[in-house]
Structure 1
């Protein structure tokens, strides 16, 4: 791996919570240049820095030209640190190259420290971001999947759907047992999908508690004969920018698929968002999902508004 260098006079240091506003401004400007909107909130930035799985001192880099932030990068180790998600953001090619170098080295280091011979590195990029896609390709990444951002607008009241016969709706995870069940269902639904790595339960709980836009009151389970078989997790992530509800996750366990449970959970979310005065509902779907999720979302009136690619590289964890 070649060693990239920063332009003369540039400096870098680890981010701290006090940097969140500056990082937010940097990310917003970058995204606006690429896709025409900020697609980011201050809470998004804060959530990333306070996440218990992220150690800013070793896993983040904020680059300055004099006192002006010009680049930001992170390496987020997942699970047993055999998978790392990296983010690199700078409009300066030399800075972006330096951040890629640092993030890949940190990914290898985390894997090595955990005893792995190799690590998988994932990165997510807007399809419209030609420069970042080229940089990923230069670093031997290849596309692993594509995500569509889906949206439906609520211009009038939405009728609440009937609960599927025989099922019980459970809203809000108010105790430790309910939250354990919620986590287990998420794992059952998403295991094996691109980018999903099981988090230790306590770390998952701590992360949810730290996220500014999440609340247990927006977590919904469907139960059959006392067993949870489907879930929907919503947040206020898109309220600030677009006055929309956001579905962070939706899944049905394999044994209960094909019964209309996902359709019910979607229509239920639409009705709740419309009643709350939201302009619409937004979610992201992996187009390579083992279930026909994209077709499902289109069938209930959602439309794609943005394409994000998931890129991946597996590399040795050796120095």
Structure 2
């Protein structure tokens, strides 16, 4: 699902790197990084090589999936003018803005919920995915998480349907992946909300938690499901000795999710952008 390329200098040091990820049908993610200490002309040449390679990878991935067009989805920091120039020159278009938000966590917030592993409020049960005797999660619960997230994000920007196995494989590749950070919310005994969290490791000071995915089915909205799941990961972070919880929110989301995050103490640390390019697939 992933391919990588590096550009080395005469001393064999890596000065540029790109990675592509066949994220889902029709959507390929691209990471594109060039050393900021390189002279402008050398840095631009490295960037060109990375984009040419990514274009070829898009053609290959699209052909393997038998598509006529393959999207390349990459990003940039809002204030990174160098990257903007390169992206525009390579035929990419800026399509979306994202707020990268963070919230401090205090030890006292361990009391936000009775028990992050399982608690109930107003008929909604919040619980970790169940574990089997060997410590692995219950497949039925994992499928419930996948189904909830697919159902919750169907109408969201650039959503591409992902199979259960693609979803599971991709999330397990995350360095911060932990099975004990997957929660379900059940309404009337049926899964209606899900939160997948990860650990943000730090070399200085406490680690943090991160909300990789939070989704609530439309039929369950207005029942406090999202707020309950967020309180759960905050409390879990406090119990674990972590000092923050991060997340990403679509600045143009029609759901108004940012309002809930701000009300619960999140603030924007920095802003990123999505840039897309559609690559025709020959043959």
Is TM-score (shorter-chain normalized) higher than 0.5?
Answer: yes
* CA shift for structure 1 position 209: 3.8
Separation in 2 of the partners of 1:73 and 1:295? 35
Report the counterpart of residue 185 of structure 2 in structure 1.
Answer: 222
**TM-score, normalised on structure 1?**
0.76
SS at match of 1:236: strand
Report the counterpart of residue 99 of structure 1 in structure 2.
Answer: 50
Separation in 2 of the partners of 1:310 and 1:77? 16
| 1:236 equivalenced with 2:199 (yes/no) | yes
1:109-146 Cα deviation digits (max 9, x unpaired): 32133222212221111112211111111222222111
* Gap change, CA 1:240 and 1:296, over 3 Å in 2: farther
SS at match of 2:83: helix
1:119 to 66, 70, 73: 70
**TM-score, normalised on structure 2?**
0.85
Separation in 2 of the partners of 1:140 and 1:207? 27
* CA shift for structure 1 position 63: 0.9
* Gap change, CA 1:167 and 1:155, over 3 Å in 2: closer
Report the counterpart of residue 123 of structure 2 in structure 1.
Answer: 166
| 1:315 equivalenced with 2:272 (yes/no) | no
Report the counterpart of residue 50 of structure 1 in structure 2.
Answer: none
> What root-mean-square deviation, in Å, do the aligned CA atoms of Structure 1 and Structure 2 show?
2.0
Report the counterpart of residue 162 of structure 2 in structure 1.
Answer: 199
Separation in 2 of the partners of 1:229 and 1:219? 14
- Structure number with higher relative contact order (C-alpha < 8 Å, ≥ 6 residues apart): 2
* CA shift for structure 1 position 314: 2.1
The gaps in structure 1 that reach 5 residues or longer are 1-52
The structure where strand makes up a greater share of residues is 2
Say if 2:19 and 2:31, in contact at 8 Å, map to a contact too: yes
Separation in 2 of the partners of 1:117 and 1:90? 30
* CA shift for structure 1 position 195: 4.6
Say if 2:187 and 2:220, in contact at 8 Å, map to a contact too: no
Report the counterpart of residue 27 of structure 1 in structure 2.
Answer: none
The structure where helix makes up a greater share of residues is 1
* Gap change, CA 1:240 and 1:246, over 3 Å in 2: farther
Report the counterpart of residue 246 of structure 2 in structure 1.
Answer: 282
* CA shift for structure 1 position 75: 2.1
Report the counterpart of residue 16 of structure 2 in structure 1.
Answer: 71
Say if 1:144 and 1:194, in contact at 8 Å, map to a contact too: no
Say if 1:75 and 1:87, in contact at 8 Å, map to a contact too: yes
How do 1:1-319 residues align onto structure 2 when only pairs under 5 Å count? Answer: 53-54=1-2, 56=3, 60-66=4-10, 67-80=12-25, 82-91=26-35, 92-158=43-109, 159-161=111-113, 163-174=120-131, 175-240=138-203, 243-318=207-282
Aligned residues between the structures? 262
* CA shift for structure 1 position 239: 4.6
SS at match of 1:255: helix
* Gap change, CA 1:180 and 1:155, over 3 Å in 2: closer
The gaps in structure 2 that reach 5 residues or longer are 36-42, 115-119, 132-137
Say if 2:107 and 2:241, in contact at 8 Å, map to a contact too: no
